[in-house]
Structure 1
């Protein structure tokens, strides 16, 4: 089979590829809309010209031109969609104190000092009038008993100044702002009780509000039938996706066992429901219209399950994916599951292009694609006559197939790998299916107290056993391999290597083998470059909130200076991404004194805090290249700028905007360099280039 013949079998893959490229391009580059409209116009004109001209349609050499026009069209469409989506998230009134009306999109989630909740603004009060809006923001309510009365769908009037969500700016940190952007959220606000009030506003029927109310009723049925404590939290997460109240230690244990995905309702759970319904209605295939009727029933019932789970994005994504697979089965289209997967991804990305950047979307499609491609090939390696052994072998190949497709992504995002994923999968996945089926039975039997309580007791017992098993897996030696790291370059190469292996298996061509060998060679490039590259010396002033944290790294070693109040957990949270990226394992930690001075490379670095010492005089005598001003250090720039105008002044603490402008103007007049960590993020300086 040639590559062209392979692609022809999956027409939606040919459309999905340029659409995805267009989304990534527009996210990385600021492409003007005018250029996109021109590209769309030219591509549509080219397609129409090709289709309306007989000699062009019949010419094999010009088919490439037709493909280029289609490719250009969907690249431009993908870029345009993400620009439109980004524009819809923005709010003109975000910079001022304004009244907003809207509704809660979820139940408030308790945190240490606040409640967090997603909020959809429907109207903003601007220039003495109300203007319609449709923007999502993140609200943090100050802890207060009145928040306990709020539920998903509650209407609120709030008075606040929305702040654009920004990261701390520390090297290699989790990009929280980008994550919220994938959730269509750009702004956040903190609300004390005096800045919000619940209101009654007539509103239209909302399927989301309806779903949340149904989920609350189902959770109530669980409690009424004796399912309590950790068992309730696990069942709520496993069957309905409600895991906000789960004990963090339970979450960590399931993560370490490699089965946390079981507690996040997604493709696995929809697949379990799909298998059950598929089997129940298999007898319909004996009739003339049986395939169509079964397909329609399957789609209706899996969407009903999606509604019961609260219509979370992961469930809607998985339900949409399975809906396209069912439609493909009904139509009996050539290309099968892969084409249905590509079709569902294509239409989902047309609606919401930011889905491509979500971890759940990437894991869902890679896992299903890996299972569909690899599992049949693994199953053919051995034929097992015994039913139980055959089931055991299929479960093994299922887990291995999913891990092949998703393990690189898991290491890239989470920097760890579960050693006993096969062992945990043998028990947890079948038990998850049983518990989902029993929870469905419990809902139907809830009017019958005796029967429902017996099922509830059985569920409680099974969950206690399942949790006990997961905790045992967690405590096995080396249950989790930590501190793994993949760069963007390595992740891309691994998946290119995987795709080239697939091409070898499917196409059986020398070209695919040649590509495989080239990618293997490309893996060695970073190591070769590193051998000829001089070890870097780097100064880092981290954005540590209300604390001070300074790092000096040299090759594979580092030394950190921190204030005595910075906790160990916060130190690890801030520095770990940087250490992983640099592959640094050996480092020292020192506590900062009121005034520090050290030489690193050929650079002199001073760290000052408010003290009785004449700071300006001390700096004048030391003549440092860098002056790091801590929280209690002076903010009077005149006290610090001396005749040594070559100094770089780095402010660690937050200053008001008018103070920053004042310092900037003084510094420019004296040719001094100023950097504000709280405004611009962590300060990084490569000292190696100055030696």
Structure 2
């Protein structure tokens, strides 16, 4: 394959680099310089093309390529800056207001007693004066009546919004960054009576229709299917409705490398495409049949994309398959990489922030793997038996997709499914049965006996698939966890994969040498990181809001003092990622009241001796203690809201750093902070602040 065969792919690369630059530097201060660069270079490019022969440009063809690359790079950067809501002077955060008029812009979700949704601001109100405004706001309503709210409803809410919190603990999921990539920077938490419903049906009528129709179809699943997990998987796999998915189901699919099944994407659209191709094949016999067939298929695929909420993966697949249909209809040569690049370019022009979406990235990478790597993998073995050859073809598809997405999935999810080949082969037939029986059930739900049979087939197929994946999930060595790539290691892994497969295709020796060099650097980096982790000790005072969490790390062992259990969601969200990132293999949990006697840590009462450091945990039980002389410690950790001032504390204790966790009241925290400033004491407040990590050696 030569670059002349994939021109759109070549042009897409500088545009993607421009998007990446824009994601790092989004401020509008760069916009004038970028706009001038774009316009000037565009004029130069057009001038050179108009005078191509007279200026003998064909002798220096690289000039045109260089200019086009810089122009596209600038265009990508400009598109990100222009799309970023904070750069708009009418953003609601730049306007003084008491109230905001907002329209619900997605389907409200009810979970853990809260109704959550995003809303687009269109008006600000201050002293009864209104002004146009824009921007996206995240709302959380603790109100049972809010369950009735729908997409398109207009609300009046107080303008007491707050910025999204950053991650407070190491390795914690960066929810602030995740929302920023969706143009969401502020949130509002409301109780009953703090908002007012103004209007209904103010949203996009197509989206409103699609969401209502999807809800009706979810209700149809609930009528004939009995198992809650089967209903949730059917709704997710066929309709893209994920609200009912349990954590157990998500974990089973994630650990077996089949999580892509629960994301309506290209595979699902391809299954529908094959069904339509078979059902409409009779039209090929008529004069304008092929044209009619193309029109029907594109309309149905577009309708399905709308039904699933226009997710990036479905849009990518819909655009790509539509182009394949058009190419086949008019008997044109189809370059799948070019089609893939065109679909990516169209989506990124619509929303440049799609580039940050993990599903978008994994979806495109997996298709690239199928197009580029799968033929190479397939050539590894040859089978004369027809069925063995088909089985190997399926295996090569799974291997290619898994190899190309491994660095990215490991970078984001920190695990690798060992039995991915088995699990992916296992779900092929059930997935097709689920898709076809599910679609047939939704179309024929009005036929009593037939809909019952289809619902039975659908439910049993889902339960079989769930059970099989659960068995694989709990098999020995089912997944490799605690994979924490740095950005450099992530890039090295991709360089290794690309150069190695390119060598298998082209057999050039320098590619093999380059891949060996990448592997060496990757091994060195991981070895150094592992050595440092195994030979370091630290104490981490974590920010767990109203909970307590102190992690004492000694090599690959850790003692965690907390009031949480290891099954608590706060533990899994804030403590477990930190332990995994530190390569901890042995963890022991203790409460504040328990004594500890280990070779690297001892705890008696509130006093902790960790290697060469002393930490005193000061709570309500320590209030009335009177010591004969001052106790010297490195850290004094105040927890449990003991009403004591520093004058009282300093009579008994001499410490280097004062640590105040979030379990204390705001009043006590403010009092201690003021006293610490006055006495010039080094302090750290964990409430709404990042955690404190202290190296012990």
Contact 1:108 1:117 in 2 (8 A): yes
Cα distance 1:637–1:292, how it changes in 2: closer, same or farther (>3 A)? farther
Alpha-carbon distance in 2 for matches of 1:665, 1:61: 73
Cα–Cα, structure 1 residues 224 and 274, in superposed 2: closer, same or farther, change >3 Å? same
Shift in CA distance, 332/501, structure 1 to aligned 2, threshold 3 Å? farther
CA gap of 1:62–1:408, structure 2 versus 1, over 3 A, is: same
Q: CA deviation at 1:513?
A: 2.8
Are 1:36 and 2:34 counterparts? yes
1:621 matched to which residue of 2? 630
Residues 494-548 of structure 1: CA deviation (Å, up to 9, x unaligned): 1111111233244443443332232122113325645996944433210011012
- Correspondence for 1:47: 45
- Asked if the contact 2:105–2:203 (Cα under 8 Å) also holds between the matched residues in 1, the reply is no
Deviation at 1:658, TM superposition (A): 9.6
Of residues 601-610 and 408-417 in structure 1, the stretch that sits farther from structure 2 once superposed is 601-610
Deviations 1:530-584 (A, max 9, x none): 5996944433210011012122334333333334789755334322222222212
Question: What is the aligned partner in structure 2 of residue 441 from structure 1?
Answer: 440
Contact 2:168 2:689 in 1 (8 A): yes
For the pair 1:78 / 2:76, whether they are aligned, the reply is yes
- How many angstroms apart in 1 are the aligned matches of 2:690 and 2:624? 29
- Using the TM superposition, give the Cα deviation of residue 643 of structure 1 relative to its aligned residue in structure 2, in angstroms: 13
Q: Quote the residue 2:18 is aligned against.
A: 22
What displacement does 1:660 show? Answer: 7.4
How far did residue 54 of structure 1 move? 3.3
Q: Cα distance, 1:665 vs. partner?
A: 6.4
Residue of structure 2 equivalent to 1:548: 548
Q: Does residue 190 of the first structure (1) align with residue 189 of the second (2)?
A: yes
User: CA separation in 2, counterparts of 1:108 and 1:317?
Assistant: 25
User: 3-state DSSP class of the match of 2:545?
Assistant: coil
Q: Hey, what does 2:619 align to over in structure 1?
A: 609
| Distance change in 2, residues 1:89/1:299 (3 Å) | farther
User: How far apart in 1 are the matches of 2:451 and 2:198?
Assistant: 38
1:652 matched to 2:650? The reply is: no
Task: Between 180-189 and 207-216, report the one with greater CA deviation.
Answer: 180-189
Structure 1 vs Structure 2 CA RMSD:
3.7
Aligned residue number for residue 574 of structure 2: 574
How many Å apart are 1:682 and its aligned residue? 0.9
Distance, in Å, in 1 between the alignment partners of 2:361 and 2:37 is 28
Partner of 2:121: 121
Please tell me whether the aligned partners of residues 328 and 336 of structure 1 are also in contact (alpha carbons under 8 angstroms). Answer: no
Post-superposition Cα deviations, 1:402-459, rounded to whole Å, max 9, x if no partner, equal 1112233223322333333333333322221222122332333344334333333333
1:67 corresponds to which residue?
65
CA contact (8 A) 2:167 2:174 kept: no
Aligned to 1:428: 427
- Say which is worse superposed, 423-432 or 480-489, in terms of deviation: 480-489
Distance 1:533 1:452 in 2: 61
Alignment partner, residue 199 of structure 1: 198
Aligned to 2:272: 273
What is the aligned partner in structure 1 of residue 99 from structure 2? 99
SS at match of 1:523: helix
Contact 2:658–2:684 (CA under 8 A) maintained in structure 1:
yes
In the alignment, what sits opposite 2:599? none
Q: CA deviation at 1:215?
A: 1.0
Evaluate the alpha carbon distance shift between residue 125 and residue 67 of structure 1 in structure 2; reply closer, same or farther with a 3 A threshold: same
Q: Extract unaligned runs of 5+ from structure 2.
A: 594-603
Helix, strand or coil: the match of 1:490? helix
Q: Which has the higher contact order (CA 8 A, sep 6+)?
A: 1
TM-score (norm: length of structure 1): 0.86
Q: Relative to 1, partners in 2 of residues 1:619 and 1:105: Cα closer, same or farther, differing over 3 Å?
A: farther
- Say if 1:328 and 1:340, in contact at 8 Å, map to a contact too: no
Query: Contact 2:546–2:664 at 8 Å: present in 1 too?
Result: no
CA contact (8 A) 2:373 2:501 kept: no
Bigger drift between 380-389 and 133-142 goes to 380-389
Query: 2: CA distance between counterparts of 1:353 and 1:164?
Result: 23
Between 1:199-208 and 1:663-672, the stretch displaced more is 663-672
Q: 1:584 — aligned with what?
A: 584
Contact 2:97 2:159 in 1 (8 A): yes
Structure-to-structure mapping, 1:271-670, within 5 angstroms: 271-281=270-280, 294-326=293-325, 336-382=335-381, 384=383, 388-527=387-526, 529=528, 535-563=535-563, 570-592=570-592, 596-598=606-608, 600=610, 603-611=613-621, 613=623, 621-633=630-642, 636=645, 647-653=656-662, 667-668=676-677, 670=679
Question: Shift in Å at residue 153 of structure 1?
Answer: 3.3
What SS class does the counterpart of residue 544 from structure 1 fall into?
A: coil
Q: Find the aligned partners of 2:472 and 2:71 in 1 and give their Cα distance.
A: 51
Work out whether residues 102 and 121 of structure 2, in 8 Å CA contact, stay in contact via their aligned partners in 1: yes
**C-alpha contact 1:230 1:247 (8 A) present in aligned 2:** yes
Match of 1:672 in 2: 681
Q: Which moved more, 1:18-27 or 1:280-289?
A: 280-289
**Match of 2:122, SS?**
strand
Contact 1:50 1:56 in 2 (8 A): no
SS across alignment from 1:66: helix
Give CA-to-partner distance per residue, 1:604-629, whole Å, 9 cap, x none. 544323455479x9799334443333
Contact map agreement 1:234 1:246 (CA 8 A) in 2: yes
Aligned to 2:109: 109
Q: By how many angstroms is 1:241 displaced?
A: 1.4
Partners of 1:153 and 1:565 in 2: CA distance: 41
Residue range with higher mean Cα deviation, 62-71 or 93-102: 93-102
After superposition, the C-alpha distances for 1:3-34 in whole angstroms (9 at most, x for unaligned) are xxx33322222222222222222323466323
Q: In the TM superposition, what whole-angstrom CA distance separates every residue of 1:94-141 from its partner, at most 9, and x where no partner exists?
A: 998843333334443332232323333333323423334443332222
**Which secondary structure state, in structure 2, belongs to the residue aligned with residue 199 of structure 1?**
strand
Unaligned segments of structure 1, at least 5 residues: none
Partners of 1:309 and 1:548 in 2: CA distance = 42
Residue of structure 2 in register with 1:213 after alignment = 212
Structure-2 change in CA distance of 1:434 and 1:661 (3 Å): same
In structure 2, the CA distance between the partners of 1:387 and 1:129, relative to structure 1 (3 Å rule), is farther
Equivalent in the alignment of 1:87: 85
Scaled by the length of structure 2, what TM-score is found?
0.86
- Give, in whole Å, the separation in 1 of the partners of 2:239 and 2:296: 21
Change in 2 beyond 3 A, CA 1:363/1:129: same
1:566–1:557 CA distance, 2 compared to 1 (3 A): closer
2:264 aligned counterpart, secondary structure: coil
Counterpart contact for 1:89–1:185, Cα < 8 Å: no
Are the counterparts in 2 of residues 109 and 115 from structure 1 also a CA contact under 8 Å?
yes
